[in-house]
């Protein structure tokens, strides 16, 4: 190699396998070991004090840091192009940590109304117990986010690909609005994964994931993660005293001044994870690390299968509509080509003629698809959101969230697409009588 040449950055696939990991220095184990331990021995009293004062990096207690979890955090931060990451016990825990680090009682934020139903419930009800208020807007027009901002707003939140409707939001436009307001844009990138989209490249400041989904990819491990870009200036606006002011829990330490471009990560771990305690289990971190090693391969197959199934459904006489951004007919196809050039993901919805009863019949009749409340598995999954994940919402809220009575959500796996098509075709045929019968909405 010539002396003046620079090493080329590793490709995504290589980083998915290697980032953050190395052979174990003690045993030589090539796979990351599961460090199933609660605590770690200090060298001496000074070493212990420096760790607790955040003057030295190291391991104290597995509620805060664990070697297995640390590999996962570094790998996801690397794949997203972020500065640092904090893993949590679930995607909901990651969202709580993301806001807990920013918000004070009485603060507000603006969120897309097209979100996973559990997120809408968390933001609407549970967050109120912290004194936080969410304002939901239609993400179809980025200016709606700007119009909803108030002086107390501390963030904008959206999903790259909305669950369950497959809505693609104009990330770049919303990021400019957040930047002009001096607040961070938080993006849930669960459905896209960093293989399909890296929100930091479009101006986002914080990314959250439910690692339970595509990152783990096999339906066997719970988890979440918060990633920071390292580019947001927490001192510029004066809106974030918890980041840019003295912290009484650390003798007046100013996280923004002390830790610079990874201050948010440090604050999230040293305060949020410490005090709320939603720690990721080492075993779940190990399983997620293993899953990420095949992320690029799985996502290619997920997307190819999803497009084939969506095209089949679009032409099926028992289907009223299909919402998949990968279809040329989708109003989000242009945005998908911009932000998701490798594919529009594998989770989408379609409407069954016959409404609620027909939708229930489809999910009860499939054989290859698994009827359960999850996405991002190697196996293909199906659910009727109105009777399950979005059941706690009013019908009006369900419809606004893309989960109305006729909606069926699919998470397309990596099986044979032809087999998936045949399974759906049979289930739709069985649902035809329900489509002709008078609609009777189930109560509950």
Distance from C-alpha of 362 to C-alpha of 231, rounded to nearest angstrom: 47
Residue 153, preceding peptide bond in cis (omega within 30° of 0): no
Q: What is the pLDDT of residue 124?
A: 95
For residue 442, what pLDDT is reported?
Answer: 40
Determine contact, residues 280/88, Cβ cutoff 8 Å.
yes
93 and 193 share a domain?
yes
CA distance 231 to 233: 6
pLDDT at 1: 40
Residue 405 falls within a domain, yes or no?
yes
Residue 87 is assigned to a structural domain of this protein: yes
Query: From CA 218, how far away is CA 221, in angstroms rounded?
Result: 8
Residue 332 and residue 265 in one domain: no
CA 10 – CA 79 distance, rounded (Å): 11
What is the CATH classification number for the domain harbouring 400? 3.90.1150.10
What confidence score (pLDDT) does residue 444 get?
34
For residues 283 and 301, membership in a common domain is answered with no
Provide the token pair at 146.
């700007």
The Cα 104–Cα 131 span in angstroms is 8
Q: Please report the pLDDT score of residue 392 as a whole number.
A: 73
In a domain, 443, yes or no: no
Number of domains the chain contains: 2
Amino acid 6: pLDDT? 67
Would you say 225 and 210 are in contact if contact means Cβ atoms under 8 Å apart? Answer: no
pTM: 0.93
The residue among 260, 275, 292 that closes a domain is: 292
Question: Which residues touch 213 (CB under 8 Å, ≥6 apart)?
Answer: 91, 190, 191, 374, 375, 376
6 lies in a domain? no
What phi, psi does 88 have (nearest 5°)?
-140, 175
Answer yes or no: do 392 and 278 share one domain.
Answer: no
Domain-embedded: residue 412: yes
Q: Which domain holds residue 38?
A: 12-292
Domain stop point among 292, 314, 337: 292
Q: Where are the beta strands (DSSP E) in 98-229?
A: 108-112, 133-137, 153-159, 185-188, 206-210, 224-228
**Tens digit of each residue's pLDDT, the chain (444 residues):** 445 556 778 999 999 999 999 999 999 999 999 999 999 999 999 999 999 999 999 999 999 999 999 999 999 999 999 999 999 999 999 999 999 999 999 999 999 998 888 899 899 999 999 999 999 999 999 999 999 999 999 999 999 998 777 789 999 999 999 999 999 999 999 999 999 999 999 999 999 999 999 999 999 999 999 999 999 999 999 999 999 999 998 999 999 999 999 999 999 999 999 999 999 999 999 999 999 999 999 999 999 999 999 999 999 999 999 999 999 999 999 999 999 999 999 999 999 999 889 999 999 999 999 999 899 999 999 999 888 877 777 788 777 777 788 999 999 999 999 999 999 999 999 998 765 655 444 433
In-domain check, residue 143: yes
250 in a structural domain: yes
pLDDT of residue 400: 74
pLDDT of residue 8: 74
Q: What is the pLDDT of residue 2?
A: 47
- The answer on 243 and 321 residing in a single domain is no
Name beta bridge partners: 407. Answer: 351
Q: Are residues 195 and 341 both part of a single domain? A: no
């Amino acid at each position: 190699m010539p002396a003046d040449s620079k090493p080329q950055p590793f490709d995504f696939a290589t980083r998915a396998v290697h980032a953050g990991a190395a052979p174990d220095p003690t045993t030589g184990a090539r796979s990351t070991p599961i460090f199933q331990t609660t605590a770690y021995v200090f060298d001496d009293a000074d070493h212990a004090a420096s760790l607790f004062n955040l003057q030295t990096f190291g391991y104290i207690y597995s509620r805060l840091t664990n070697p297995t979890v640390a590999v996962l955090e570094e790998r996801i931060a690397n794949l997203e192009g972020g500065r640092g990451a904090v893993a949590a016990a679930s995607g909901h825990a990651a969202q709580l940590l993301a806001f807990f680090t920013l918000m004070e009682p009485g603060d507000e934020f603006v969120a897309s109304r097209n979100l996973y139903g559990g997120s809408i419930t968390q933001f609407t009800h549970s967050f109120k117990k912290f004194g936080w208020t969410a304002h939901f807007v239609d993400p179809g027009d980025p200016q709606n986010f700007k119009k909803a901002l108030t002086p107390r707003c501390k963030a904008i939140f959206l999903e790259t690909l909305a669950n369950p409707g497959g809505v693609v939001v104009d990330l770049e436009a919303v990021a400019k609005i957040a930047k002009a307001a001096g607040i961070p844009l938080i993006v849930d990138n669960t459905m896209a994964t960093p293989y399909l989209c890296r929100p930091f490249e479009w101006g986002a400041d914080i990314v959250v994931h439910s690692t339970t989904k595509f990152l783990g990819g096999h339906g066997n491990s719970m988890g979440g993660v918060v990633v920071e870009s390292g580019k947001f200036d927490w001192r510029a606006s004066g809106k974030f005293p918890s980041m840019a002011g003295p912290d009484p829990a650390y003798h007046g330490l100013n996280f923004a001044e002390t830790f610079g471009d990874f201050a948010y990560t440090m604050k999230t771990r040293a305060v949020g994870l410490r005090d709320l305690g939603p720690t990721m289990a080492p075993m779940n971190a190990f399983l997620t690390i293993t899953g990420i090693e095949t992320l690029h391969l799985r996502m290619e197959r997920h997307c190819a299968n999803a497009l084939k199934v969506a095209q089949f459904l679009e032409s099926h006489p028992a289907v009223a509509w299909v919402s998949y951004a990968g279809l040329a007919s989708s109003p989000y196809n242009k945005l998908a080509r911009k932000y998701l050039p490798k594919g529009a993901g594998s989770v989408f919805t379609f409407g069954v003629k016959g409404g609620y009863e027909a939708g229930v019949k489809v999910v009860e009749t499939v054989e290859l698809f698994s009827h359960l409340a999850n996405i991002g598995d190697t196996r293909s999954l199906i659910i009727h959101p109105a009777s399950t994940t979005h059941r706690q919402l009013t019908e009006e809220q369900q419809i606004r969230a893309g989960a109305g009575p006729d909606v069926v959500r699919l998470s397309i796996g990596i099986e044979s697409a032809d087999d998936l098509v045949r399974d759906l075709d049979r289930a739709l045929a069985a649902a035809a009588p329900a489509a002709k019968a008078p609609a009777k909405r189930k109560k509950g």
